[in-house]
Structure 1
Amino acid sequence: MGLDDFVNTFGAVCKQKYGGRIKKLTIDAAFTCPNRDGSLGKGGCTFCNVSSFNEQQGTGQSIEAQLHQGKQNLLPSAKQSTSKYIAYFQAYTSTYDEYQVLKQKYDQALADANVVGLHIGTRPDCVPDAVLDLLLEYQNQGIDVWLELGLQTANDETLKKINRGHQFSQYEDTVLRARKRGLKVCTHLILGLPGESDVDYQASLKAVLAAGVDGLKIHPLHIVEGSTMAKQWRNQKLQTLTKEAYAASVAKLIRMTPLNIIFHRVTAYAKKPMLLAPDWCAFRWEGLVAIVDQLREHGGQGCEVNVLSANRSNN
């Protein structure tokens, strides 16, 4: 039994919708971030080095070339079973530019007839109404659009500590405006941020569900070369979650999540030597197997929704 047996996964939803596999092709469209260019600050979030999750970063390739290369990089089995793709604007803040620049870059990705989806990764404080209206235009044309918001935590104190440069209220506002237009929102959360525990993870889940989220991506904190946290980790001022602790925590959140919410990801993977810690994140399947074991033992998605409801009534 795999994750799909216990969780409403994005992969399973795509198989049902398109009748087969669908692959994300990551794109670096040379965006920056207000937390790096000086608008809000410099240096970025303390956990961030975009190269750790985006192999296209810094290549200077055109969007067309990146899509082509992404297809070539697929495993032979994936190439044989995949004919449709999602263009995933992942690197940095993919709504942080002038409207015409954004439209031009999104249009370049959608010029590929086999690209049926558009996923836009961004910050909650960088999504003006004009961008939401543009995404709605694509959705009205039949493109499967997801707005992916990197929240990481609903705790304003932690957000300040990790130098995010925004508060939870800005996330709530963006979700409200997106969902009023009928746009789907996927929220990213990180477990293991400094000072946080299961209490904080569950509070963040409660907050994003209350805001009306449609999908979730949950990651363990992992320390990557080039980040501020790398210095803290080397100075032994920062610890990361064990595989067992992470699996138990994320499985609990999955059980507390209603069945209609789509999980786009439940763990993370990074390559050595970019990855410094925890070591288990260097192995693509270890964390996933541990999570499935937890779900098999304690129950799958939605079986503890009443726990979340009870928490809401007590607050």
Structure 2
Amino acid sequence: MALSDVVHTFGTDLLRRYGTRVHKVAIHAGFTCPNRDGSKGRGGCTFCNNASFSPHSQREPGVAEQIAAGRAVLRKRTGAVRFLAYFQAYTNTYADAERLEALYRAALAEPDVIGLSVGTRPDAVPAPVLDLLAELRDQGHEVWLELGLQSAFDATLARVNRGHGFGDYCRALEQAQLRGLPVCTHLIIGLPGEGREHALASLERVLEQGVDGLKLHPLHVVRNTDMANHWRRGDYHPLTLGAYIDIAADLIERTPPEVVFHRVTGTASRDILLAPEWCSKKWAVLNGIEQALHRRGTQQGARLGEPLADALDAA
């Protein structure tokens, strides 16, 4: 058995639709963030060191060069022959539409790139940018808008200096939906002051608004962040591996089968990770979630009475 037997995974979804393996190539396009440059705040989120999401983010070769490097690695490691350009580091809609169009089209010009996945904040997706993404989608490209919500609780978002609220997310989502853009929402499990019930409530609120994809992440404590200082003082205690696996399984069970999980965990490289140590072990987490679901005799959508197989057959 595999995780894709009990979870509607993005990799399996792409394989079904394109008939071959498709993998994301992460791109650092030199953006900053409105929560760093003074537009919304300074210093960014308390947990944010972007190297934890993109280990080579300090190097910024051109888009084509980054795709070439990623392609070489991924072809050897995964056998993927088609790719999504994943604009990942910082806020990838935080520029005028003309600059964004040049960057996005540079990625799409690569012959084996079938589309884009654009990571951003919900308070940084103005209408011209959404129109651009919709135009690219209408031209036949796979386009995903990834919104970093992290939590549906405004108190939590303020606690981690996120710089936006749940209302910003709802407004951005509505505008994307009006244009028919698929949205993948990011949720972090284990934020300060939050437990299982907060995670379940955030999921419920996100599902009420409607969403096409989800990403689940454990909170990493990484070097050069305010969160690292909180952890060193004993003010923040990360989740155990078992607690994360249980919460992730709880959320998966309550997610409709048609929603695609782009990710159910996230890792940070050992050179910057402080805690929890298990966040460097991707497969231990993935295998743990799969095993937890099998032990429960359950799968995605089980708590809703919606069989996963039926949703996949209808897709």
Q: TM-score, normalised by structure 2?
A: 0.95
What aligned pairs does 1:144-163 form with structure 2 within 5 A after superposition?
Answer: 144-163=142-161
| Structure 1, 259-268 or 49-58: larger mean CA deviation | 49-58
Amino acid across the alignment from 1:35: N
2: CA distance, partners of 1:37 / 1:129:
21
2: CA distance, partners of 1:77 / 1:221:
26
2: CA distance, partners of 1:91 / 1:173:
23
Matching residue of 1:302: 301
- Partner of 1:86: helix, strand, or coil? strand
Amino acid across the alignment from 1:90: Q
How much does 1:76 deviate? 2.1
Task: Describe the superposition over 1:215-250 as per-residue Cα deviations: whole angstroms up to 9, x where unpaired.
Answer: 000011111111110111111111111110000001
1:8 matched to 2:2? The reply is no
How much does 1:55 deviate? 2.8
- Partner of 2:302: helix, strand, or coil? coil
How much does 1:306 deviate? 6.2
- Partner of 1:87: helix, strand, or coil? strand
| Structure 2: gaps of 5 or more residues | 307-315
Contact 1:26 1:56 in 2 (8 A): no
Contact 2:74 2:80 in 1 (8 A): no
Matching residue of 1:260: 258
Matching residue of 1:52: 52
Matching residue of 1:172: 170
What aligned pairs does 1:83-94 form with structure 2 within 5 A after superposition?
Answer: 83-94=81-92
Question: Which of 111, 133, 158 does residue 113 from structure 1 map onto?
Answer: 111
> Judging changes above 3 Å, is the alpha-carbon distance between structure 1 residues 82 and 216 closer, same or farther for their aligned structure 2 residues?
same
Contact 1:255 1:304 in 2 (8 A): yes
| Structure 1, 87-96 or 286-295: larger mean CA deviation | 286-295
1:240 matched to 2:238? The reply is yes
- Partner of 1:150: helix, strand, or coil? strand
Contact 2:15 2:21 in 1 (8 A): yes
Contact 1:87 1:119 in 2 (8 A): yes
User: Where does structure 1 differ by over 3 angstroms across 4 or more consecutive aligned residues?
Assistant: none
Matching residue of 2:139: 141
Contact 1:56 1:66 in 2 (8 A): no
How much does 1:142 deviate? 0.7
Contact 1:156 1:168 in 2 (8 A): yes
- Partner of 1:73: helix, strand, or coil? helix
Matching residue of 1:287: 285
How much does 1:171 deviate? 0.3
Question: In angstroms, what is the RMSD of aligned CA positions?
Answer: 1.2
2: CA distance, partners of 1:243 / 1:55:
23
| Structure 1: gaps of 5 or more residues | 308-315
2: CA distance, partners of 1:75 / 1:22:
10
2: CA distance, partners of 1:115 / 1:138:
13
2: CA distance, partners of 1:28 / 1:148:
15
2: CA distance, partners of 1:222 / 1:77:
25
Matching residue of 1:27: 27
- Partner of 1:219: helix, strand, or coil? strand
Q: TM-score, normalised by structure 1?
A: 0.95
Task: Describe the superposition over 1:154-184 as per-residue Cα deviations: whole angstroms up to 9, x where unpaired.
Answer: 0000000000111101100111110111100
Matching residue of 2:72: 72
- Partner of 1:226: helix, strand, or coil? coil
Contact 2:75 2:81 in 1 (8 A): no
How much does 1:60 deviate? 2.3
Amino acid across the alignment from 1:300: Q
How much does 1:75 deviate? 5.8
1: CA distance, partners of 2:179 / 2:114:
20
1: CA distance, partners of 2:5 / 2:81:
25
How much does 1:260 deviate? 0.6
Task: Describe the superposition over 1:168-226 as per-residue Cα deviations: whole angstroms up to 9, x where unpaired.
Answer: 01100111110111100000000000111111101100111111111000011111111
Contact 1:27 1:56 in 2 (8 A): no
Matching residue of 1:313: none
Matching residue of 1:312: none
2: CA distance, partners of 1:55 / 1:220:
17
> Judging changes above 3 Å, is the alpha-carbon distance between structure 1 residues 77 and 279 closer, same or farther for their aligned structure 2 residues?
closer
Amino acid across the alignment from 1:304: R
Amino acid across the alignment from 2:304: V
How much does 1:31 deviate? 0.4
